[in-house]
């Protein structure tokens, strides 16, 4: 960090790269911060494509090798927006080189990688080198309110946690075999890609880690076209198909450290649900419910109220007293998906300027990775599945 600016180098420039770029462009114009990000280097393997992306997204220069980005003296912070198979090697090299790291979720593709990253992050912190994992939904004002209500005891003892992340972008069996459906690239399917968000959100809002799971995973479409069908393809090329090596959906039961029980669902086959990250928490004194598809609202039920006046009330979380809201618009105008990333880098920069460890940490990312691995281990152990008898004698 040179004075009041910090040089950022970003690896990867697809969906997450675009979302992070928007955050780096706007954060210091929306929030008063002691440090301003410089969008110094964008890294991508294809130079021409990376240069076009840098021009569009607002990056000053381009690298085609992430190792050279880390060696660049103008880079103080490495922002990792690549598929999960490269998170560990890039983060470990960056931390060793004294660069702060923001790493997209999930932290890694395996627990072993996540453990190495968390250990390296803890060591780097002793050198004043900070790290954060990108669970951006923590930065929705309604989620911050949910966490506050639980922490203030407004729900009493938490009994049930119900979390879903529902999408439908691959219901069409002809959707091509992109990296998110390849285990060697993504680590897992819906479980790690969107289930990770549901796990982190549930643990963040309740303040209680998951201690045990029982899981089920399913892959509905087991092979897909290698490339999207288009007029230019030869019939032979269009016919090429490859195996889907990850889950299309994951469902699991959970126990939390505070005694609550939970059920989770992460699927890419919820036809009609586009980006429905939902959380409901039921406690002895009340409940709350959040749905990202109505992200500016939080439903709250106070169970201590007169039952004749009870039930869920819809809170518009747009008053200036809520975290981040005052930086944007008057009450009732609302925020969007992109604001969660701006809030994420705002909190990262504020922590760096204060010499503090940002949250969620790599240790938080490791906890999520352990939950994901436990679900996969449980789902693979068919012994936990009890068949329901059928037929007249039950022998069917």
Which CB sits closer to ligand SOE, 167 or 182? 167
269 vs 312 by CB, closer to ligand SOE: 269
Which is closer to ligand SOE, CB of 282 or CB of 340? 340
Helix (H, G, I), strand (E, B) or coil at 345: helix
Q: How far is CA 111 from CA 7, 197, 259, 375, in A?
A: 30, 16, 25, 12
Q: 255 has which bridge partners?
A: 212, 261
CB of 258 to ligand SOE, least distance (A): 27
Q: Which is it for strands 5-11 and 61-63: parallel, antiparallel or unpaired? A: unpaired
Q: What is the nearest approach in angstroms of ligand SOE to the Cβ of residue 194?
A: 6
Q: Which residue is nearest to ligand SOE (CB)?
A: 193
User: Binding of ligand SOE at residue 295 (CB under 6 A)?
Assistant: no
Q: Taking the complex as a whole, how short is the minimal distance between the CB of residue 372 and ligand SOE, in angstroms?
A: 14
Nearer to ligand SOE, 118 or 201 (CB): 201
We find the least distance from the C-beta atom of residue 340 to ligand SOE, in angstroms, to be 8
Closer Cβ to ligand SOE, 110 or 275, answer by number: 275
The CB-of-167 to ligand SOE minimum distance in angstroms stands at: 6
Considering the complex, state which of residue 167 and residue 367 has its C-beta at the smaller distance from ligand SOE: 167
Residue 194 lies near ligand SOE (rule: CB under 6 A): yes
- CA distance linking residue 202 with residue 211, whole number of Å: 13
Q: Are the beta carbons of 36 and 3 closer than 8 angstroms?
A: no
Half-sphere exposure of 312 (CA within 13 A, CB side): 14
- Binding residue (CB under 6 A) for ligand SOE from 15, 179, 329, 385: 15
- Interior CA angle at 75 toward 87 and 80, to 5°? 20
- DSSP letters for 22-67: HHHHHHHHHS--SSEEEEEEEE-SSHHHHHHHHHHHT-SEEES-HH
Of 9 and 84, CB closest to ligand SOE = 84
Binders of ligand SOE in range 110-169 (CB under 6 A): 167
Tally the C-alpha atoms within 13 A of residue 267's C-alpha that lie toward its C-beta.
Answer: 21
- 193 lies in the binding site for ligand SOE (CB under 6 A): yes
CA distance 326 to 285: 30
> Of 353-392, which residues contact ligand SOE (CB under 6 A)?
none
> Phi and psi dihedrals of 198, rounded to 5?
-65, -40
The footprint of ligand SOE on residues 275-294 (CB under 6 A) is 275
Binding site for ligand SOE (CB under 6 A): 15, 167, 193-194, 275
């Amino acid at each position: 960090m040179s004075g009041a600016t910090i040089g950022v180098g970003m690896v990867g420039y697809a969906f997450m790269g675009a979302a992070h770029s928007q955050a780096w462009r706007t954060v210091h114009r929306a929030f008063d911060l002691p440090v301003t990000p410089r969008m110094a280097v964008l890294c991508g393997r294809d130079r021409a494509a990376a240069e076009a992306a840098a021009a569009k997204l607002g990056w000053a220069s381009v690298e085609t090798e992430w190792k050279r980005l880390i060696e660049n003296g103008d880079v103080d912070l490495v922002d990792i927006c690549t598929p999960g198979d490269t998170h560990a090697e890039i983060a470990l090299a960056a931390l060793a080189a004294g660069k702060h790291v923001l790493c997209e979720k999930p932290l890694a593709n395996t627990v072993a990688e996540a453990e190495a990253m968390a250990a390296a992050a803890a060591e780097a912190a002793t050198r004043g080198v900070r790290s954060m994992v990108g669970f951006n939904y923590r930065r929705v004002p309604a989620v911050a309110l949910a966490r506050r209500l639980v922490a203030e005891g407004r729900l009493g003892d938490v009994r049930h946690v119900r979390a879903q992340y529902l999408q439908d972008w691959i219901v069409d069996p002809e959707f091509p075999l992109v990296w998110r459906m390849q285990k060697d690239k993504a680590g897992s399917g819906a479980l790690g890609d969107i289930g990770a968000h549901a796990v982190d959100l549930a643990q963040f809002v309740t303040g209680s880690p998951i201690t045990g799971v029982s899981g089920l995973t399913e892959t509905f479409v087991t092979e897909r076209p290698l490339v999207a069908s288009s007029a230019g393809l030869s019939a032979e090329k269009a016919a090429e198909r490859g195996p889907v090596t990850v889950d299309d959906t994951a469902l699991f039961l959970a126990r939390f450290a505070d005694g609550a029980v939970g059920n989770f669902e992460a699927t890419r086959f919820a036809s009609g649900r586009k980006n429905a990250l939902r959380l409901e928490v039921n406690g002895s004194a009340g409940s709350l419910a959040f749905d990202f598809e109505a992200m500016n609202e939080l439903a709250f039920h106070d169970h201590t109220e007169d039952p004749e006046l009870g039930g869920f009330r819809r809170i518009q979380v747009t008053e200036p007293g809520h975290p981040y809201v005052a930086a944007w618009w008057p009450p009732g105008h609302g925020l969007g998906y992109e604001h969660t990333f701006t809030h994420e880098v705002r909190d990262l920069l504020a922590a760096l300027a204060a010499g503090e460890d940002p949250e969620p940490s790599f240790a938080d990312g490791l906890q999520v990775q352990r939950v994901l691995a436990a679900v996969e281990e449980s789902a693979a152990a068919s012994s936990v599945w009890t068949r329901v008898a059928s037929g007249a004698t039950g022998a069917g």
